[in-house]
Copies of this chain bind each other. A is one copy, B any other.
Amino acid sequence: MKKLLLAFCLFTTGVHAQSTDSVTIRKIYNEILTNSPSYEWLRELTQKVGPRLSGSEGAQKAVEWSKQLMEKEGFDRVFLQEVMVPHWVRGAKEVAYIRNGKQKITVPVAALGGSVATAPKGVEAQVIEVKSFQELRDLGPEKVKGKIVFYNRPMDPTKLNTFEAYAGAVEQRANGANEAGKLGAVGAIVRSMTTVLDDNPHTGGMRYATGVPLIPTAAISTNGAELLSKSLKENANLTFYFKQNCETLPDAKSYNVVGEIKGSEKPDEIIVVGGHLDSWDLAQGAHDDGSGCVQSIDVLRTFKALGIKPKRTLRAVMFMNEENGLRGGVGYADYAKKNNEKHIAAVESDNGGFTPRGFGIVGTAQQRAKVMPWKPLLAPYGLHEIGAGSGGADIGPLAQLGTVLFGFKPDSQRYFDFHHTGIDNFEAINKRELELGAASMTALVYLLDHYGL
């Protein structure tokens, strides 16, 4: 009988906790959907601060802006973590055209981050179109030497999650120049990473492997890629010209920006919520990743606004240099390790400011099982996709310290319309979608803080 009673008590306590939690989560959503300044913060970060590639003046402004914002919000502690970051600059806008007989047809390209410049007068050569590295290797050096390699494998439109389609194509951007350079190519042009047909080249990171010739590499818009491919079918001897003026300067000093609310019961257990402060240089970095930054700050603001005193220490982290080096993410984990900090969980928002779908989890089966009872609390808010998945690039290095990682998972359908292009601007953001993301993250952080892991 005692056992039964105990079981009953546990049961009712469980019900009570769930009901308290559901009330708190409802309050979180109400607060954010009614009072969140996140959209206005994002307006400032995107329109006033603007593009903020690592090492740029914009990145430095973003560091100062986010530090001041978190100080103004009255977090318990706001501090900078110094990191040295790559400093790549695009220089003057690129020029590219297809020369087909007497025709010269201009096409939109953008140098890939990390690429070398072309010779000052540009590079012009015949073109070899391939869909895979294997296809290129099969051609061999004699067919590739002196040519421009054109990688034209599209993102697979049948993948429901566009990040899977991205993962299936992005090696062309990341390693295309290496594979082409090894075989004697003089340049590498990569179809932009999107399923949309349009005129926006999508830049993004690449890195030269050691020992390969450093050939210039650029992204071409998908319409440009379609045109080039079609033109090659008509005239295999056409030439492609491009000129880019980018340059890698010495590493620059920069910072992660961290805002903290001290835990009231277990201050030594830390929960991180973050995004990355740097962006590519072509636009304002609204979805990538201004959204994640303002959402993360809004998580801590909301705890304060609702008077929820976290048991554990909460940190909003604006990571520097996700796009072309990950020095901020690596640096943050290094600091944590050096200072013997215990990070129980880290949540990252770096998949755009779109309508929420759920969270990916990186942790053991046991740790994931701990999260499953929370699903009914989150389902009413459209958060159905909670399970093993990806965390985020910046929080990735924390996994070595045993931290459980959570990747905020908004709907992915529109992300690659904007990613790394000139149109990833404030106008691309929907206020409600941005706020729902912040509320989803706050609800998860609330549960993580309340129940631990």
Contacts and interface: CB of A to CB of B under 8 A. Distances in A.
Contact of A157 (B33, B196, B384, B411): B33
A20 interface: no
Interface string A393-432: 0000000000000000001011001000000000000111
A384 B384 contact: yes
A29 interface: yes
30 contacts: A29-B158, A29-B160, A30-B158, A33-B157, A33-B158, A34-B157, A34-B158, A157-B432, A160-B380, A160-B381, A160-B382, A160-B436, A162-B432, A195-B432, A355-B355, A355-B413, A357-B382, A379-B384, A382-B385, A382-B411, A384-B384, A384-B385, A411-B411, A413-B430, A413-B432, A413-B433, A413-B436, A414-B430, A414-B433, A417-B430
Contacts of A411: 355, 382, 411
How many chain copies does the complex carry?
Answer: 2
Interface string A146-159: 00000000000110
A33 B196 CA distance: 12
Interface of A: 29-30, 33-34, 157-158, 160, 162, 195-196, 355, 357, 379-382, 384-385, 411, 413-414, 417, 430-433, 436
A29 B195 CA distance: 15
Contacts of A158: 29-30, 33-34
Contacts of A380: 160
A33 B436 CA distance: 28
A421 to B, nearest CB: 15
Contacts of A29: 158, 160
A414 B355 CA distance: 9
Contacts of A34: 157-158
Contacts of A436: 160, 413
Contacts of A417: 430
A416 to B, nearest CB: 9
Contacts of A357: 382
Contacts of A157: 33-34, 432
A263 to B, nearest CB: 29
Nearest to A434: B413
Contacts of A430: 413-414, 417
